[in-house]
């Protein structure tokens, strides 16, 4: 298993290439304080991680009181 920080993942929401560091020591998404509800929704909706841009967008949408579902 490579630990190289390549853009080896593709966001299932927007198709943007990115690297998820969840399998590494740290990931950018650790800085995002996603709610438990949003995490569960994402886990149910997507098989893979989303890029940071989408995570931030969904987080802001949730905080704005709108549904994060597309
Ligand atoms: Zn994305």
How many other β-carbons are positioned within 10 Å of the β-carbon of residue 33?
7
Enumerate residues with CB within 5 Å of ligand 1 (an ion): 11, 13-14, 16, 50-51, 54
Q: Would you place residue 34 in the very low, low, confident or very high pLDDT band (cuts 50, 70, 90)?
A: confident
1 CA from centroid of ligand 1 (Å): 24
Domain limits, the chain: 9-63
16 CA from centroid of ligand 1 (Å): 6
pLDDT at 10 over 70: yes
Contact (CB, 8 A) for 49 and 9: yes
Q: Would you place residue 65 in the very low, low, confident or very high pLDDT band (cuts 50, 70, 90)?
A: confident
pLDDT at position 8, please?
A: 79
49 CA from centroid of ligand 1 (Å): 9
């Amino acid at each position: 298993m490579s630990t190289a920080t390549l853009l080896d993942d593709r966001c299932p929401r927007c198709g943007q290439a990115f690297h998820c560091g969840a399998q590494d020591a740290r990931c950018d998404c650790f800085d995002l304080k996603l709610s438990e509800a949003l995490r569960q929704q994402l886990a149910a909706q997507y098989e893979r991680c989303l890029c940071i841009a989408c995570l931030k967008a969904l987080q802001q949408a949730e905080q704005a009181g709108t549904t994060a579902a597309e």
